[in-house]
Structure 1
Amino acid sequence: MGSRSGWSAAAGLAIAGVQLMISDAALAQSVQGMEDHNRALVAKGFEAWANGTGSPYDLLAEDASWTITGNSMASRTYPTKEAFMSEVIRPFNSRMQSRLIPSVRKLYAEGNTVIAFFDAQGTARDGKPYANTYAWILEMKDSKIVRATAFFDSIAFDDFWKRVPEKPAP
């Protein structure tokens, strides 16, 4: 009897272990699926930006916060999509003669975070080129960017921001 109950306990543990492995595999597959989905969304946003048909900013949730790190003239946290767009992106674009075009070096995804490492260049309204290298850490939720942290060359940015005045809105 003792060996039979020992066998039952061992079988029960083995079954529990198999169930745990299956559960872990399903969770890993689910996380991989989320990472692939988020990476694909961001890649599509960059492709639209490069083609002039949209941008990764289209993925921003209305209450998304965007932090520009460092000491540039734009460095701070913007608490909403509209604050970021109205205080940085629209003024930036108004300083451009030809639009900024990104070239993605690499997109990384882990969990709900996508990291975009890319270069972007265009021509400022004063005819001089603007080029910079960026790293964006994008936290995703429900297929939207809810928090972003951006790194770039603040010297190149500040030179452009000071040198080229914002074009008045029509």
Structure 2
Amino acid sequence: MQANKMLMQSIFSELAKGNGRPFVDAMADDFCWTFKSNGVWRGSYRGKRTVREDLLAPLMAQFADRYTNTALRLIAEGEHVVIECQGRVTTKSGQPYNNQYCYVCRIEGGQLKELTEYMDTALAEAVLAPPARPGT
């Protein structure tokens, strides 16, 4: 449990500086990212490659500057770490995209296996073009 929390603290220490590399490096090959919502952000992206190419790359392409995400609170129990966090970035259209998130992460063998994301979907839909729907 402590190792899992330390892993996520380390990842978010870098994300707060705009360095997403440790986050991507920690993803297992069969990593799954799930959005819990009823809108266009609903669904799961399965596989590290799919997450990188179909989710992260299209999102990052919309940003004018470096995306940062700062952990406000981390809670660990067993193989799960819950992170309350605050993202900050400006889009290429000049709009601020400062969303708040709750990530529920499952870690196995020192690698991220699952991330379930809760966010302000109304803000995301107002400011961002959604990535391709999972499986499309």
Q: Would the TM-score normalized by the shorter structure come out above 0.5?
A: yes
Q: How far 1:101 moved relative to its partner? A: 1.0
* Distance in 1 of aligned mates of 2:39 and 2:52: 17
Please tell me whether residue 126 in structure 1 is matched to residue 93 in structure 2.
yes
* Distance in 1 of aligned mates of 2:92 and 2:25: 25
Partner residue in 2 for 1:105: 72
Q: How far 1:131 moved relative to its partner? A: 0.8
Given candidates 87, 93, 106, the residue that maps to 2:60 is 93
TM-score by length of 2: 0.88
The percentage of aligned residue pairs carrying the same residue is: 22
Q: Runs of 4+ in structure 1 displaced over 3 angstroms? A: none
* Distance in 2 of aligned mates of 1:55 and 1:103: 14
* Distance in 1 of aligned mates of 2:24 and 2:121: 20
Question: Relative contact order (alpha carbons < 8 A, sep ≥ 6): 1 or 2 greater?
Answer: 2
CA separation of 1:55 and 1:160: change in aligned 2, threshold 3 A? farther
Number of residues paired by the alignment? 130
Larger radius of gyration: 1
TM-score by length of 1: 0.71
- 1:122-161 per-residue CA deviation (whole Å, 9 max, x = no partner) reads 1100111111000111111000011111110111111122
Partner residue in 2 for 1:46: 12
More helix by share: 1
**Which segments of 5 or more consecutive residues in structure 2 lack a partner in the other structure?**
131-136
The one-letter code of the counterpart of 2:12 is F
* Distance in 2 of aligned mates of 1:157 and 1:120: 12
- 1:96-140 per-residue CA deviation (whole Å, 9 max, x = no partner) reads 001221121101100010011101111100111111000111111
Contact preservation (8 Å) 1:72, 1:157: no
Q: How far 1:72 moved relative to its partner? A: 3.5
What RMSD in Å do the two structures reach over aligned CA positions? 1.7
Partner residue in 2 for 1:64: 31
